[in-house]
Amino acid sequence: MSRKIKSAAKTTGAPSENQNGMLAKKPRAARKMPAARKTGLRVSRKKMSEVTDDAIRLRAYFISQDRRRHGLSSDPNSDWIEARRQLLAEIEKP
């Protein structure tokens, strides 16, 4: 290729040839990784400390099922409080 053709190819965005006469590939743009992947999926302490009502509800259900299986009496309020206590204790573990 002559100099005029090479410079025109670069300005128009057309593929250019390398020294061997083959078409050169354009370098790939760097992909942005989500922040969670960069940090090894570490979650901040603040985000972990949030215990959702759905999580408490599910844990309370299993607590009540376990008590019924063992023939113990229970009420929904005590199951809810125990489920919340257990979930908060799991979060506080290092």
pTM exceeds cut of 0.75: no
Question: So what's the pLDDT on residue 51?
Answer: 92
What is the Cα–Cα distance from 94 to 91, expressed in whole angstroms?
8
The residue type of 77 is N
Per run of 10 residues, the mean pLDDT along the chain (length 94 residues) is 54 61 66 52 52 96 95 92 95 80
Alpha-carbon gap, residue 10 to 17, rounded angstroms: 10
Six-digit token string for 88: 């908060």
